[in-house]
Amino acid sequence: MLQDLPVWLAHFRSQAAHPRQVPTTLDDTLTARERRLIASSIAGFQLGEGSDGRCLLTAVRRHCADDERHPLVEIFGLFVAEQQRHARLLGEFMQDHDIAEIGGGVTHRIFRLLRRCGGLAARLRLLITAELVGIVYYRALEVVTDCRRLQILCRTLVADELVHVAFESQLLRVLRSQRPVAGRLLGAWEQCLLTGAALTVWFTHRRVLRSAGYGAVLFIRDCRSQYSFYLKWPPAPRRPRSRPAQPLSPHGT
């Protein structure tokens, strides 16, 4: 099991007690052009952030043999609460700018379906995939607006998501190490999953992403770069080449 669990538990407890704040004194001007550009896109991400985490928490409890005192149970409970806080922050911004919430979408339905599949490792793969893509998306969203409140909100979400991915990737690597034979195949599947998710998000949110300078290939590449940093299996260590014996000189040196 992950050795750093006490450290991660302390972090999530601290975040719950002292969450990152978006200052209320920031400029909150969103132009009509910006609103038209981002409205449906930000509503889609707000919907995804608001999951109740029921399937994930069920998988965590099952993995921990229904031990409610296990640190993972509390960590993921705090994680889900933090994700829901993200949804509230986005929802408050949307409400202040008359951006309507949406009830569903293609991307949301796909992720909801996949969330029901597999155990903890499978759900972690899906969760990390969504967050890695989200990190690249929120950075793009920050670029396409001059609204200071939205820019800082994007940075706040990215800061939280980076910590989430660091924790989840550590845990997933531990779980993968328990299946060394399947490790390479699982890594390939994760990259396929990420590529498919990134392509789906680019197609669904392409107006915002194009405005930030992202074509489909560049967006997928940046998402895969995030994956490589956190989760790509290290290459097998190379054996040092044995140097051929040097012939002796005529003088024996």
In the chain, the percentage of residues whose pLDDT exceeds 90 is 62
Q: Read off the tokens for 245.
A: 């014996």
Token pair listed for 76? 């993921």
Neighbours of 25 (CB within 10 A): 7
| Residue 170, Cβ density class (10 Å: 0-12 exposed, 13-18 middle, ≥19 buried) | middle
Q: Which residues of 56-82 are buried (b: 16+ CB within 10 A; e: fewer)?
A: bbebbbebbeeeeebbbbbbbbbbbeb
Q: Tell me the C-alpha distance between 144 and 30, whole Å.
A: 11
Q: What's the average model confidence in pLDDT over 238-252? A: 43
Q: What is the mean pLDDT of residues 49-70?
A: 88
Give the pair of three-digit tokens for residue 136.
């690249």
Can you give the pTM of this predicted structure? 0.85
Least confident among 65-74, 87-96, 113-122, 212-221: 113-122
| Alpha-carbon separation of residue 163 from 30, 131, 138, 222, 230 (angstroms) | 29, 10, 15, 18, 11
CATH code for 30-231?
1.20.1260.10
Above 90 in pLDDT, residue 103? no
